[in-house]
């Protein structure tokens, strides 16, 4: 940490240059002798990133920001607050504390929090900011969280860990390829706490993760504005029953769709959409959770096609976690070329073309309220649904 960055004049400069060209600031001579232009640029860039992701940090005077990558990789306040509700409420240890966002929210719902971070600078930054944020009952340790557990026999109410992928190459990864290696150290973790919370990137396949882990009680799939943000694996020391999937959308209101993993067995009722009905598009959290047919049963919907994750019904259920459209017209795909002045945002589901090429091919003008949904129906084949949105995420 360069503590000169905390001087009032420097803080005022950072705040007043949020919309400045940070590349020019990085290359130019710094107006402050103890601070480089690169350091100023880094602080401005990271602070600006926090406007929506970490509004408490952004609005708190004197916050010290880490390199941008740390801000990008840390939890948002929305997801951190959600995870805090899953903890046990006693003493919690965060083995991969990072910038301290998760630890801050854990401190609001647990009697004590131990923040462990291997990077000395990041550990110091998190500890410094904790005082500004009035974070109570927290201890900060710079070191290796796994080594700390090996050297200490203390038991915790909850252990939280966010293992980082060792390699960014390819789209498929396994928990054993992350650091710390949760799979290799799971017995150690369970010997120190009855409750383990593991955060992973949404790219991790649920079935693959379950093959690597044991004692998984729940998997929480968390999304914000139809973007899957993270998976939280709830591991309990003595748990041996079925796995509960909890799909959570964190938007203006929080919605959940929960089910036992073995419930997704029966095929959904299929139906053909007609004018005047409502079309349902599930949030990405439900799709990641794999509740393709159960969605139809729970909300009394008909699925358009076995491979089309869209649903129709004569009613609009606003508890549904996803978008809802009013169907204005249903056209056979072959008839769309005869339509003039097409307006609407294009959605493609189980259709042999891409949205961008369809937009160009049919000269479709974008519109936020109207949609053209290119898809397939079991009874109608390839179709285009003209629809008006009545519920966003």
Cα dihedral 150, 153, 154, 156 in deg (nearest 10): 60
Beta bridge partners of 117: 142
CB-based contacts of 354, cutoff 8 Å, min separation 6? 348
What is the H or E stretch that residue 56 is in? helix 55-59
Q: What is the mean pLDDT of residues 322-350?
A: 95
Decide: 133 and 103 in contact? Cβ < 8 Å: no
Structure tokens belonging to residue 378: 């079991």
CA distances from 125 to 112, 153, 201 (A): 19, 28, 24
Cis peptide before 272 (omega within 30 of 0): no
Q: What is the CATH number of the domain that holds 31?
A: 1.10.10.1110
Q: Are 288 and 319 in contact (CB under 8 A)?
A: no
Task: Give the residue carrying structure tokens 């990271």.
Answer: 46
Q: List, for residues 147-192, the tens digit of each pLDDT value.
A: 999 998 899 999 999 998 765 555 557 898 899 999 999 999 999 9
Q: Residues 309, 246: one domain?
A: no
Q: Mind listing the pLDDT tens digit for each residue in 12-60?
A: 999 999 999 999 999 999 999 999 999 999 999 999 999 999 999 999 9
pLDDT tens-place string over residues 252-270: 899 999 999 888 878 889 9
Q: Say if 22 falls within a structural domain.
A: yes
Q: Which domain holds residue 292?
A: 278-391
Say whether both 215 and 184 belong to one domain.
Answer: yes
Query: Which whole-number Å values give the CA distances from 178 to 47, 222, 377, in the listed order?
Result: 28, 20, 41
Q: What is d(CA 30, CA 39) in angstroms, rounded to the nearest whole number?
A: 9
pLDDT in tens, 350-362: 999 999 999 999 9
Both tokens of 105, joined, read 């929210």
Q: Are residues 63 and 78 in the same domain?
A: no
Q: 48-52, 175-179, 327-331, 375-379: which range is least confident on average? A: 175-179
Residue 346: alpha-carbon gap to chain centroid: 24
> What percent of the chain has a predicted confidence (pLDDT) above 70?
98
For the chain, what percent of residues have pLDDT higher than 90? 91
Domain count, the chain: 3
Once rounded to an integer, what is the mean pLDDT over residues 212-235?
97
**Does 178 fall in a domain?**
yes
CB 98 within 8 A of CB 70: yes
Q: Which of 57-71, 153-167, 317-331 has the lowest mean pLDDT?
A: 153-167
pLDDT of residue 167: 57
Interatomic CA distance for residues 370 and 343, integer angstroms? 7
- If asked whether residues 387 and 285 sit together in one domain, one would say yes
User: Of 261, 291, 311, which residue is a domain's last?
Assistant: 261
* Residue 172 lies inside a defined structural domain of this protein: yes
DSSP secondary structure letters along 264-314: TTSPPPB----TTSEEEEE-HHHHHHT-TTHHHHHHT-EEEETTEEEEEES
pLDDT in tens, 80-120: 999 999 999 999 999 999 999 999 999 999 999 999 999 99
CATH number, position 146: 3.40.50.150
Burial of 380: CB neighbours in 10 Å, binned 0-12, 13-18, 19+: middle
Mean pLDDT for all residues in the chain = 94
Domain check: are 95 and 147 in the same one?
A: yes
pLDDT tens per residue across span 278-319: 999 999 999 999 999 999 999 999 999 999 999 999 999 999
Which of left, alpha, beta for 84 (phi over 0: left; psi -120 to 50: alpha)?
Answer: alpha
What pLDDT sits at residue 166?
67
Helix (H, G, I), strand (E, B) or coil at 374: strand
């Amino acid at each position: 940490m360069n503590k000169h960055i905390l001087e009032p004049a420097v803080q005022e400069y950072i705040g007043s240059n949020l919309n400045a060209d940070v590349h020019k600031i990085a290359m130019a001579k710094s107006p402050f002798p103890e601070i480089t232009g690169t350091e100023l640029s880094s602080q401005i860039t990271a602070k600006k990133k926090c406007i929506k992701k970490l509004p408490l940090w952004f609005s708190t005077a004197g916050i010290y920001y880490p390199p941008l990558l740390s801000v990008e990789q840390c939890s948002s306040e929305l997801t951190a607050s959600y995870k805090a509700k899953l903890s046990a409420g006693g003493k919690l240890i965060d083995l991969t504390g990072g910038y301290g966002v998760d630890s801050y929210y854990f401190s609001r719902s647990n009697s004590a929090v131990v923040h462990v971070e291997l990077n000395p600078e990041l550990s110091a930054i998190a500890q410094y900011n904790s005082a500004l944020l009035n974070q109570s009952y927290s201890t900060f340790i710079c070191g290796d969280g796994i080594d700390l557990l090996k050297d200490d026999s203390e038991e915790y109410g909850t252990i939280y860990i966010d293992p980082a992928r060792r390699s960014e190459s390819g789209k498929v990864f396994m928990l054993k390829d992350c650091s710390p290696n949760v799979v290799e150290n799971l017995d150690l973790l369970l010997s120190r706490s009855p409750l383990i919370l593991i955060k992973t990137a949404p790219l991790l396949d649920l079935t693959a993760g379950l093959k690597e882990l044991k004692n998984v009680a729940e998997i929480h799939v968390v999304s914000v504005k139809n973007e899957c943000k993270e998976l939280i694996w709830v591991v309990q020391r003595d748990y041996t029953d079925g796995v509960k999937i909890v799909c959570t959308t964190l938007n203006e209101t929080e919605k959940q769709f929960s089910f036992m993993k073995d419930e997704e067995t029966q095929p959904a009722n299929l139906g053909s959409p007609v004018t005047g009905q409502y079309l349902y598009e599930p949030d990405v959290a439900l799709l990641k959770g794999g509740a393709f047919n159960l969605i139809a049963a729970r909300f009394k919907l008909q699925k358009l096609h076995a491979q089309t994750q869209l649903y129709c019904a004569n009613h609009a259920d606003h508890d549904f976690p996803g978008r809802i459209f009013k169907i204005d017209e249903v056209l056979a795909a072959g008839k769309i070329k005869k339509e003039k002045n097409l307006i609407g945002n294009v959605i493609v589901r189980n259709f042999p073309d891409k949205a961008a090429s369809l937009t160009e091919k049919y000269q479709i003008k974008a519109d936020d309220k109207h949609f053209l949904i290119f898809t397939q129906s079991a009874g109608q084949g390839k179709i285009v649904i003209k629809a008006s949105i009545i519920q966003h995420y």
